[in-house]
Structures are given as structure tokens and as C-alpha cells.
């Protein structure tokens, strides 16, 4: 081990300042005898030394703090400029030689080994913050040059717009620093996430497991609707199973790179894990929790050739006290009845009211105003600057354990509500959003709310009756009798 390179077996949970949250936890898990694929960490010290030697460390620190307080467009431009500076510096030759030595040792007789190159920021995977999915990760990387390229891109990701935005929201003012994990790649046939508590109810007597086919990226990014299982704490029984529609998987292609494979309707709707395998994953998650003194954990797991691997662990950052009983499905507000407009798997408890804003891509985030309900196809961490302003989030894909659900703390969320963004889906201008245990959108009394049948051009995606826009599009006759036309 050197100051710049540290193998997992030399690290522990208290080494976050050197190895970042992910690297420190992987070391703790390795020393604890858990089935972690072997790897090493390029330390945060190595990154800081590289920036110091290039003469830009102080500038990066000061500019990153200033950029986080700007408007979205200015934030994005500054983030790109900061990342470009890091990429221009690259990996200094002495450090590249050390990384090469460690990579060859990791590869052994299988050189060049296929590895995952994963960011490990010094502020991530802590009890009070979650940078889940915000920094870069690269899978199926082979060859030293490719590894070095991935390392530089991981370094640059510490200045991504979504990272700077999240740091600002958490009032973090310390210097951004990042380590990088290089870990043997698991050729995952099935993978996913497990929480040693139910995040939808904050119930610590249950373990919640989500899984999909292929690499777990499709689960943590919210790209598919995963299978969801609720397991008794002692692992004695599977309490509940929901089979999701997993439309595609990511596997290792013939050239060794990631390959997206579309699944047939039959395979997409089939179970990922048997009950026995669900219990096996639950037992692994509980072992991790015990290693961390009973603190509820969020783990990533994978099956390959019949063997279960542990890929990552972090404390759950979204838990609060057990969720109180939510309003009944038929109540929108005191004295009024509500109609359920959409429902799906709830990802976070809460009841909010807000204007519906339907967006397709993160680039449209400037259209969302504070307190709006964000409705989107999915929400990967690129949406973080936008989600910070949303009162609630409704998506068509994703599960309770995806990165967006983890990062969007303190807001109601409903995941994998199919056709949530469809123009045929009835929505309304004011959205009553309910969570626990199912995420639902409700319509209130006619004198307060407006039914929506499609998006209005004048309001940049707000859903309300299709009244004529400035170009004469739409049909005012679709407004329900007695409902006010939006102005």
C-alpha cells in the first residue's frame, strides 16, 4: 500500500477521508469476510496531489463553491468548465505507473482484467448525505489506458452540476475531494439492491429487495420497473412479492463492453429471484447491518454463476420515524372527495399539493417552479437540480431503491407509474399526491381543481383542460362544466 493506492483489505469504515465513502465501506466489508469482488482504491490524496501539482487545486475549490449558488444554466456552464480543467490535467505519469502496477496485480493471469471503475467521493455514503449515482461509474473497463481515462472522468464528476447542486442543498462547504475504486467486474446475470428496512414505511422489521436481469445499473438508475420483495426481518418468510416489467437488461457484449438487450414480454414479466434466493439476499443484507452495529443498510448485490456477491453498502439516508397513517384514498381535503387519477409503487412517504409539471428530459428543468409536482419518464441523478425544487416526483419507471428515490429525501415520490406522462392520462393543474403504501395522484373538489386531458402550450407542460392556446390549438369544449379555465 502507498499513499496513492490502497487495497480493500487494508481499509476500514474510518478511512473515508482517504478512500471515500464507497472505498472505505468496501474495505470494511472485505475485512469482515463478506463476498466482495477484489479491488483497490486510488486515494483522494492522489487526486488532490494531482490538482495541486497542476496549480489548480485552490481555484477548483473556490469556483465550485461559487458555482453552486448560481442559476441552473450558469451552474451547468461552470460545472462543465471545472470538469474540463480536471480532464486537461489528467493522471500524472508517476501516479499512472502506480495504477498500472496495481491493475496488473489485480488482473493476475487474466490480464487485462475487466473491471468496474467507480467514483468514491469523501462526502458520499455517509449517514447524513447521499450522493447516490451522482458521480461517474464505468463498467466492463479493460486495459490500462481505458482505466486511466475512466479515473480522470471519475475525478471530473466531482464537479458535475448535479453534485454541486446537491452539495449546496446540504450546506456543504468543505473542499470537494474524490477517490476512485477499481474492482474486478462481476458478470452479473441478476442484480439489484436491498434495504434492511422498508423505505416506504420506515419499518425496520422488514427487509426490502429489488432486482432485475443483468447489471444492477438498470435498477439503481430507475430505468426499469424491478421486482420488489418484502421479507420478514428474521428471513423466515417472504411477505410480499411484486413482479415488475423489466423491459431490457444490460450485459457484457461480445466485445466485452456493456450491451443493452431488449427482453420479450414473457421474460420481462418473469421473476428474477426465487423465494430461496430472496431469503439469501436478505440474509446477506442482515450480515452487513450487523457488521455496522445494527445501523440499517442499503446494499447492492449480484448473482453470477450461481454465487451471490456484495458490490457495495451504505447507510440508509432516507429513514425517519415509522410513517403515520396517511389520509384515506377518498379524501383530498377536509370536506371534499378525491378521485384517484394515477397510482403506483410509493418510494417515499408524504402528502403534498402542487401544480403538475410534465417534463421529458433534465434539460427542461428550468420549467419547473418551486413546489411543482414533477412528472417524468424516469429520474436519474441528472434530475437532481430540478428535483430539489419539486414538492413530489412521479415517474413511469424505477423502484423504491433507485438513486433518485434515495437522493430526493423529504418529498413524496411514486415510482413506476406506467404511462404517467402520457397525454391520455388524466391529470390536473393542482395535484394532490399521496404516499403510503401506494403513490397516488388525486383530484379534489370541482371548485378547487381542474381536470387535465393534455398539456397546454401556454404553460410549458402544465396539465389542465385543452383550452385554445395562442395559435388556436386545443378545444375549449373539453373543459368540464363548472370548472374554472386556467388563466
Residue 171 CB partners (closer than 8 Å, separation 6+): none
Do 21 and 12 contact (CB within 8 A), yes or no? no
- In angstroms, the first-to-last Cα distance of the chain is 66
Residue 210 in grid coordinates: 429489488
Q: Is the pLDDT of residue 468 over 60?
A: no
pLDDT at residue 166 in the model: 76
Residue 325 lies in a domain: no
Q: What is the pLDDT of residue 226?
A: 93
The edge-to-edge listing of strands for the beta sheet with 238-242 is 238-242, 227-232, 206-213, 190-195, 297-304, 307-315
pLDDT at 390: 84
CB proximity list for 224: less than 8 A, separation 6 or greater: 212, 218, 244, 245, 246, 247, 248, 397, 398
Listed range (209-223, 318-332, 381-395) with the worst mean pLDDT? 318-332
Q: Are 203 and 296 in contact (CB under 8 A)?
A: no
Q: Output the 3-class SS for 411-435.
A: CEEEECCCCCCCCCCCEECEEEEEE
Q: Is the pLDDT of residue 321 over 70?
A: no
Contact by Cβ (8 Å): 457, 473: yes
In a domain, 450, yes or no: yes
321 assigned to some structural domain: no
Residue 114 near residue 141 (C-beta atoms within 8 A): yes
pLDDT of amino acid 352 = 77
262 vs 465: which has the higher pLDDT: 262
pLDDT at 322: 62
The answer on 93 and 137 residing in a single domain is yes
Query: 466, 462, 444: which is closest to 373 by C-alpha?
Result: 462
Closest CA to 392 of 377, 367, 372: 372
Span 461-469, average pLDDT: 33
In this structure, the answer to whether residues 173 and 133 fall within a common structural domain is yes
* Same domain, yes or no: 52 and 177: yes
pLDDT in tens, 324-336: 544 444 444 444 5
Residue 157 and residue 21 in one domain: yes
pLDDT in tens, 122-138: 876 555 445 555 788 89
Per-residue pLDDT tens over the stretch 5-15:
999 999 999 99
Cβ pair 314, 21 in contact under 8 A: yes
Same domain (yes/no): 145, 29: yes
Does residue 467 lie in a domain region? yes
The DSSP element (H or E) to which 236 belongs, if any, is none
Judge whether residue 88 has pLDDT over 80: yes
Of the residues 184, 209, 233, which one is the last residue of a structural domain? 184
Query: CB under 8 Å to 441, separation ≥6 — which residues?
Result: 340, 341, 342, 343, 356, 373, 394, 414, 427, 428, 431, 432, 433, 434
On whether residue 9 sits in a domain, the answer given is yes
Find the mean pLDDT for residues 464-476.
34
Does residue 476 carry a pLDDT above 50?
Answer: no
Residues ≥6 apart with Cβ < 8 Å to 379 = 222, 387, 393, 395, 398, 404, 408
pLDDT digits (tens, 9 = 90+) for 230-263: 999 887 789 999 999 999 999 988 888 889 999 9
How many CB atoms are located within 10 Å of the residue 257 CB? 12
Which among 260-269, 381-390, 437-446 has the top mean pLDDT? 260-269
Q: Are residues 39 and 144 in the same domain?
A: yes
pLDDT at 178: 94
Pairing of strands 412-415, 392-395: parallel
Report the sign of the C-alpha dihedral through residues 182, 188, 191, 194, in that order: negative
Look at residue 485 and tell me if it is in a domain. Answer: no
290-319 tens-digit pLDDT:
999 999 999 999 999 999 999 999 998 767
Note whether 337 and 311 are same-domain residues: no
Catalytic residue numbers, as ranges: 403
Does residue 30 share a domain with residue 174?
yes
What domain range is 430 assigned to?
A: 331-478
Q: What is the CATH number of the domain that holds 20?
A: 3.30.1490.20
Mean pLDDT of the chain, nearest integer: 78
- The answer to which of 33-37, 98-102, 221-225 has the lowest mean pLDDT is 221-225
Q: How many structural domains is the chain composed of?
A: 3
DSSP state of 112: S
Which of the two residues, 107 and 373, has the higher pLDDT score? 107
Q: Report d(CA 128, CA 346) in Å as an integer.
A: 22
- Whether 176 and 202 share a structural domain: no
pLDDT value of residue 84: 94
Stated length of the chain:
487
Under a CB-based contact definition with an 8 Å cutoff, are residues 232 and 206 in contact?
Answer: yes
Write out pLDDT tens, residues 337-389: 567 766 666 666 567 788 888 888 888 888 888 888 888 877 666 676 677 77
Residues 169 and 195 in one domain: no
Q: What is the DSSP string of 171-225?
A: T--SPP-EEEEEEEPP--SEEEEEESSBTTTTBTTEEEEEEEEB-THHHHTT-S-
pTM exceeding the 0.85 threshold for the entire prediction: no
Domain boundary (164, 184, 204) is at 184
Question: Does some domain include residue 323?
Answer: no
Where is the domain boundary, 260, 282, 315?
315
d(CA 310, CA 289): 13
Residue 13 lies in a domain: yes
Is the predicted pLDDT of residue 78 greater than 80, yes or no?
A: yes
Assess whether 148 and 240 both reside in one domain: no
pLDDT of residue 172: 78
Q: What is the CATH number of the domain that holds 238?
A: 3.30.470.20
Instruction: Verify that 194 and 176 share a domain, yes or no.
Output: no
The tens digit of pLDDT for each residue in 159-208 reads 888 888 777 777 777 888 999 999 999 999 999 999 999 887 888 999 99
Query: What's the CATH code of the domain at 431?
Result: 3.50.30.10
Amino acid at each position: 500500500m502507498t499513499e496513492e493506492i490502497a487495497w480493500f483489505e487494508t481499509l476500514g469504515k474510518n478511512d473515508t477521508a482517504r478512500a471515500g465513502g464507497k472505498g472505505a465501506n468496501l474495505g470494511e466489508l472485505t475485512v469482515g469476510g463478506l463476498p466482495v469482488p477484489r479491488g483497490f482504491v486510488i486515494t483522494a490524496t492522489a487526486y488532490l496531489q494531482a490538482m495541486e501539482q497542476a496549480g489548480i487545486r485552490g481555484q477548483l475549490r473556490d469556483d465550485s463553491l461559487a458555482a453552486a449558488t448560481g442559476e441552473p444554466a450558469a451552474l451547468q456552464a461552470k460545472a462543465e468548465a471545472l470538469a474540463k480543467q480536471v480532464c486537461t490535467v489528467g493522471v500524472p505519469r508517476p501516479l499512472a505507473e502506480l495504477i498500472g502496477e496495481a491493475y496488473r496485480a489485480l488482473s493476475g493471469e487474466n490480464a487485462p482484467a475487466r473491471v468496474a471503475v467507480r467514483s468514491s467521493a469523501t462526502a458520499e455514503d455517509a449517514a447524513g448525505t447521499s450522493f447516490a449515482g451522482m458521480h461517474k461509474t464505468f463498467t466492463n473497463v479493460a486495459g490500462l489506458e481505458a482505466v486511466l481515462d475512466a479515473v480522470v472522468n471519475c475525478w471530473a464528476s466531482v464537479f458535475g452540476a448535479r453534485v454541486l447542486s446537491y452539495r449546496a442543498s446540504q450546506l456543504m462547504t468543505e473542499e470537494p475531494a474524490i477517490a476512485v475504486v477499481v474492482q474486478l467486474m462481476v458478470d452479473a446475470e441478476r442484480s439489484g439492491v436491498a434495504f434492511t428496512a422498508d423505505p416506504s414505511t420506515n419499518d425496520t422489521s422488514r427487509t426490502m429487495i429489488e432486482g432485475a436481469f443483468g447489471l444492477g445499473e438498470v435498477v439503481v438508475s430507475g430505468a426499469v420497473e424491478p421486482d420488489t420483495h418484502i421479507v420478514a426481518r428474521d428471513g423466515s418468510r417472504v411477505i410480499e412479492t411484486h413482479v415488475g416489467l423489466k423491459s431490457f437488461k444490460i450485459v457484457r457484449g461480445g466485445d466485452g463492453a456493456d450491451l443493452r438487450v431488449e427482453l420479450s414480454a414473457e421474460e420481462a414479466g418473469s421473476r428474477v429471484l426465487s423465494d430461496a434466493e430472496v431469503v439469501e439476499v436478505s440474509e446477506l443484507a442482515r450480515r452487513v447491518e450487523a457488521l455496522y452495529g445494527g445501523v440499517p443498510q442499503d446494499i447492492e448485490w449480484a448473482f453470477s454463476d450461481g454465487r451471490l456477491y456484495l458490490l457495495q453498502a451504505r447507510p440508509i439516508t432516507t429513514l425517519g420515524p415509522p410513517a403515520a397513517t396517511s389520509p384515506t384514498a377518498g379524501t383530498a381535503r377536509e370536506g371534499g372527495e378525491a378521485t384517484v387519477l394515477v397510482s403506483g409503487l410509493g418510494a417515499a412517504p408524504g402528502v403534498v399539493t402542487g401544480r403538475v409539471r410534465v417534463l421529458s428530459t433534465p434539460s427542461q428543468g428550468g420549467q419547473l417552479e418551486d413546489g411543482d409536482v414533477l412528472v417524468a419518464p424516469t429520474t436519474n441523478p441528472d434530475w437532481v437540480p430540478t428535483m430539489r425544487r419539486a414538492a413530489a416526483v412521479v415517474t413511469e419507471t424505477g423502484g423504491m431503491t433507485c438513486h433518485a428515490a434515495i437522493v430526493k429525501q423529504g418529498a413524496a415520490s411514486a415510482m413506476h407509474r406506467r404511462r404517467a406522462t402520457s397525454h391520455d392520462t388524466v391529470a390536473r393543474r393542482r395535484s394532490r399526491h399521496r404516499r403510503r403504501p401506494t403513490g397516488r395522484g388525486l383530484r379534489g373538489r370541482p371548485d378547487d381543481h381542474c381536470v387535465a386531458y393534455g398539456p397546454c402550450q401556454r404553460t410549458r407542460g402544465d396539465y389542465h383542460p385543452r383550452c385554445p392556446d395562442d395559435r388556436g390549438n386545443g378545444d375549449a369544449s373539453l373543459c368540464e362544466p363548472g370548472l374554472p379555465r386556467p388563466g
